[in-house]
Structure formats: structure tokens, C-alpha cells
Amino acid sequence: MLIRDRILDLFYPPRCPICGRIPDRGLICRACADTLRYVDRQYCMKCGRPLEDGRAEYCGDCEKIRHAFDQGRSLLSYQGAVRQSLYRFKYANCREYARFYAAGICSRLGEFIQTREITVLAPVPLHPARQKQRGYNQAALLAERIGAELGIPVEDRLLTRIKSTVPQKQLSGCQRKSNLDRAFQAGRKILPEERILLIDDIYTTGATANAAAAALRQAGARRVYVITAAIGG
């Protein structure tokens, strides 16, 4: 736990990211924790999506689509209370939820991150106009905490969003891909030895992750991975 968290906890106890109450201990109520579905057993070896068939290696999307990133993993299945929690994290100024999701990622996916020898964390950026309106970037909040816990530098300007797009949730799969065409640009040249981990809150169709990874590839990246708090499917 960061020192600043210990101090803040004395005055502003953390609230459960699921029900909003103050837990007896920790960052989430025991009852709420029991409802979460972690993606840690049967998942696609490419994007990390949960799989129903334990014999399958890839999900239907990854069998058809060639991704710009090397591999992705997610902490939780994007359903039920998690869906509502991440909505509040993203749109209702519940920035404190970053602590819970980042702690879970470090605990359950820390080994994945370390074995990929990640050298830099890159949060998926918002367009400047949208970030000004919202006041923060939830992906950057996650990246800052993950980087502090795992000792990996964070570059929140490694990627920039140069195209103002329609919110992805309003579009179909095909529309999401075209919506993000040339939406990102690398902020600098990427060295061949750098191994980049993209951080975002949600992975649905993979359009955002692919567009962001493609921009990094164009700047010279050879290895790009993706971590999200939750994934659909």
C-alpha cells in the first residue's frame, strides 16, 4: 500500500467499488468479492477473453482477426456489477476505484506482466477535448498505480489521441474499427528493445487496443501487450 493511501484512508475510507459501502476491511466487501468472475482459467491465448470450451486455445474473434498486439489479458469478466462499477469509474468521477482494479491486476496478472519483461506502461489516451470535459483519464489512473506497484515507468504521452471519435459503446463491431482508424499517434520513436504494455479499463471488440498498438508498431515497437480491468465475452 502506498503511504498516501494510508494517510487518506484515515480521513476518507475506501468504498467498495461494487456496492459503494465502506468494507469492514480491504477494498471490497466480502459479499461483493464473491460475485466477481475473474478471468484466470479458461481464456483466449491471444486476447484473454473467457472461453466456454476448455479445449479451445482462441476465441472466435482471434481465429479470424489478426491483432496488432502480441497478447492481452484482463482481470475480470465485463458483466453485471462490474459493468456498473466501471461505468462509475469512467463517467461518474469514481477515481478511487483505480486502486481496487490496479491492485487486482498486480496481484493476479503481475506474473504475466513481469514475464513479458515490460519496460514501459502506456495508458490508452482520451482525446484532449474529452479529457478536459471528464477531468481525468481512467486508463492513466490505472497505469500510475500499476507502475508504482510493479516498479515499471509510465509514459502517459507515449500515445496521443489525434482524432475525436464517437464513443465506442454506441457503435457496432465494424463501425468501431473505422471509427478508430488513425485515431492514435505515438509521441516518440519506439526503440526496438522496448516492450510496451497498453493499459485500458475495458476490452470489448479489441478495436481500441488494435488501433493503439498499430500506432506503436508504426513508431517502431516490436512487442506490444495489453492489460485491461475487464473484458467482454
The per-residue pLDDT for range 120-154, each reduced to its tens digit, is 999 999 999 999 999 999 999 999 999 999 999 99
pLDDT of residue 12: 75
11: cell is: 480521513
Mean pLDDT throughout 54-59?
A: 90
| pTM, entire model | 0.91
Tell me whether residue 151 is exposed, middle or buried, using C-beta atoms within 10 angstroms of its C-beta: 0 to 12, 13 to 18, 19 or more: exposed
Cα gap 132→146, rounded to integer Å? 23
**Average pLDDT of the residues in 2-8:** 66
Q: What is the mean pLDDT of the chain?
A: 91
pLDDT digits (tens, 9 = 90+) for 9-37: 666 788 999 999 999 989 999 999 999 99
Phi-psi region of 51 (alpha: psi -120 to 50; beta: other; left: phi over 0): beta
- Tell me, what's the pLDDT at 117? 98
Mean pLDDT along residues 187-199 = 97
**CA dist 228 → 6, 22, 189 (Å):** 26, 25, 24
